[in-house]
Structure 1
Amino acid sequence: MDPAVRNLLLRILRKIPTGKLEETLTKWTHLSRTQQQSLNYSQSKWILHENIVYLCEENGLTMKHVSELDMIYCMENPTSATWRACQLTDAEDDASSVELISFKEQFKAHLSELIRNVSIKIKKHDDESIWIRIAWGDHFSKPNHLKPTYVVHYLQTPYVFICNLSSKNKLLLHQALVLATKHGSIKDANLSGRSFHAVRDLLMGHYNKTFPTSHSRPLKERNLSPTHPNIVKEHIEQAEKRQQLAREAFGEGTVPKLERATYTLETRFRGGSGIDTFIDSERPFKTVVTFESKSLLASLRHCVSSGMAESPVSPLLSSITQKGRNYFVITDKTNKGPDMTTQSFRSNV
């Protein structure tokens, strides 16, 4: 086995937990049932990995086969890197008719024309998504399979999700995607996170939403012994209202597991009466506010429903779910006269 293939195989095996290794190898299908049954998963990881490498050498597996193992594991566990969402725009008339075979042929052809040494593997997932693994090289070096780019696209939708893409290859990938999907351009959707499923569900609306309503929700009956019925009723009504507002802003049930939301403020220092403190400065003052949590949307929803945060929810926070983004820019808007200044809340696209 080529040293580069062996090195990649060992790196892939190290990142797969032992509890998932047998299932992953079964889906890979490049080891026979007899070979898989010969493996002892209770052994130390080092010995187990060496035995797997020996079986792969025995089967004469190449870089193509080993990179497929990496792709299978990433498709089942897409949390190893930060995923960034993009949106295709200016669709051509026949963009909705693009099928898998046509997409694969066009994407590979266009990207191979743009860069000489590149390895491309495309596979359809069970949920109808198209997964692309790209190992980049250049005119002088072979593709680097240790740092592949992953791309996920749902045909007949404008959504694309990308991880591990360097700036020098960004334009090449975007151009190939635009041509293969028959669109005019592609733009950043200003949404990112380590969980692919969370980014996808938030952008495509695949989660339980609750829409605002002007009708009051019926109060739940509770077995209480109130000292003053009016006070207890008021507290219950307030709690119900907070919970409804929280659901309307952040969804109901299990919500996408987003880790952060970033707000960039572009403004000017001001005096007490709206007069610029630094009048001579043309550059706006920039600052960044970031909210972070293991599950940001669930945390914000809890803060609102429990009364820890004020309600109704600020559009600065509710726009995360309404617009499917977690990066926003807040800028000054000065079209109401020299002494009247407002703030414009917009997404940076």
Structure 2
Amino acid sequence: MDESTKRLLQRLIRRIPTQMLRTTLDKWGRLTGGQLHSMDFTQSKWALTEKLLAICEENKFAVKHITELEMIYIIDNPNQGMWYAFQLMDPEDDAHSVELTQFKEQFKSHLRELIRHVSVKMKKHTDEAVWIRIAWGDTFSRPNHMKPTYVVHSLQTPYVFVTSLTSKQKPLLSQALVLSTRYQAIKDANLSGRKLTAIRDLLMRQYHQVFPTRYPTPLAENNPAVSNQHIEREQAESAANRLQAACEAFGGGMLPQLQSAVYKLETKFRDHSNKTMTEREEPFRCVVKFASTNLLESLRHCASSGIASTPVTPLLSSIPLKGKNYFVITDNGPGPSSQMRQPQK
């Protein structure tokens, strides 16, 4: 193995938790039973790395084998880095008939027409999603496998999820995706997060939605608080209505674990006591960010417990309703940004 391949393997082994290393190597399937047995997984990470380096050199593994191992780990542990959602637009008549083999061939072909040095590896996951690993180079340099871009796309949907994509690489990837999927355009879905499954479930509505009903039945809290029975009886109707409204706005049961929602304000400043700001011709600009380990769950709890008023403001209910967590608010009303956000550098 050359030095760059060794560095790639060393970095990868450092990333994989020791308790997951044996399972990941088993899935890789590149080591013999004897080689796996010779590794003592109770040793330090440094010792394990040196042992695995020696085995890989003995087997004469190349960079393609190491990137294969990396893909196995990333697919099983996707919640690393920031994922951005995109939506393919205006499908052609044969867009829904594109199959995996055709997509693979055309994607690689189109991307290599756009950039001379690029390495593309694809793997189909058990949930039918196609995982793509792209190592980018340029006209004069070889692909940099230390900073790959990962793309996840289910062929029968218009949604694409991307991590570690620079603004320079974005138009190249966009064009290759549009051409190989038989769509005519691609746009930013204004949805991002560190949990791939969360933004995927939110965008594809793969969670328990609660719809308005004329005769609402009180929904049970997952962990109802113990309270005075007389007070509970008096407030039962209003509490049930709050819970119903909260679940209609954000969903019932387990919710996608979004970590944040961002609102960018570009509105006229309105305050008669502050003429300096009110008379400005330029719009008032600021950014408001809500953050939580599970934002939708937190917002639902605020509404159901009475901390926040119901019915829920459209500014918040638009997160699950529109499948977005990035909004630009203008004097015309709230809505998704018309501008493309800068991806992760």
TM over 0.5: yes
The alignment partner of 2:157 has SS state of coil
What is the alpha-carbon distance in structure 2 between the residues aligned to residue 167 and residue 224 of structure 1? Answer: 54
Taking the TM superposition and a 5 Å limit, the aligned residue runs for 1:222-233 are 232-233=232-233
Matched, 1:329 2:328: yes
Q: For residue 290 of structure 2, what is the amino acid of its counterpart?
A: F
Partner of 2:342: none
Q: How far apart in 1 are the matches of 2:52 and 2:242?
A: 55
Q: Distance in 2 between matches of 1:225 and 1:207?
A: 33
Q: Note if 1:318 corresponds to 2:307.
A: no
Cα distance, 1:308 vs structure 2: 1.6
Q: How does 1:284-323 map to 2 (within 5 A)?
A: 284-323=283-322
Task: Tell me how far 1:49 sits from its aligned partner.
Answer: 1.2
Which deviates further from its counterpart, 10-19 or 33-42?
Answer: 33-42
Q: Offset at 1:106?
A: 0.2
- Output the CA distance in 1 between the equivalents of 2:39 and 2:164: 33
SS in 2 for 1:153: strand
d(CA) in 2 for partners of 1:233, 1:251? 25
Q: Which residue pairs with 2:240 in the alignment?
A: 240
Deviation at 1:214? 2.1
- 2:83 matched residue in structure 1: 83
The number of residue pairs the alignment matches comes to 334
For residues 78-157 of structure 1, the aligned pairs below 5 Å read 78-157=78-157
Code of the aligned partner of 1:116: R
Distance change in 2, residues 1:225/1:188 (3 Å): closer
- CA 1:219/1:90 → structure 2, altered by over 3 Å: closer, same or farther? closer
Q: Residues 192-227 of structure 1: CA distance to partner in whole angstroms, max 9, x if unpaired?
A: 00011011000011111111222131588x999855
TM-score, normalised by the number of residues in structure 2? 0.92
CA RMSD for the aligned pairs? 2.0
C-alpha displacement of 1:32: 1.3
- Residue 105 of structure 1 and its aligned partner are, at CA, apart by 0.3
Percent identical across equivalent pairs?
A: 56
How does the TM-score come out when normalised to structure 1? 0.91
2:335 counterpart of 1:346: yes
The runs of 5 or more residues in structure 1 that have no matched partner are: 334-343
1:194 maps to a residue whose letter is: R
Tell me, in whole angstroms, the C-alpha distance in 1 between the residues paired with 2:191 and 2:52. 39
Question: For 2:123, what is the secondary structure of its paired residue?
Answer: strand
Whether the aligned pair in 2 keeps the contact of 1:219 and 1:237 (CA below 8 Å) is no
Q: Deviations along 1:136-195, whole A, 9 cap, x unmatched? A: 000110100000000000002100000000000100000000000000000000000001
Aligned residue runs from structure 1 range 34-113, under 5 A: 34-113=34-113
Residue aligning to 1:200: 200
TM-fit CA distance, 1:278: 5.2
Instruction: Give the aligned residue type for 1:293.
Output: S
Q: Which moved more, 1:198-207 or 1:236-245?
A: 236-245
Task: Specify the code of the residue in structure 1 equivalent to 2:113.
Answer: E
Report the Cα offset of residue 244 of structure 1: 1.4
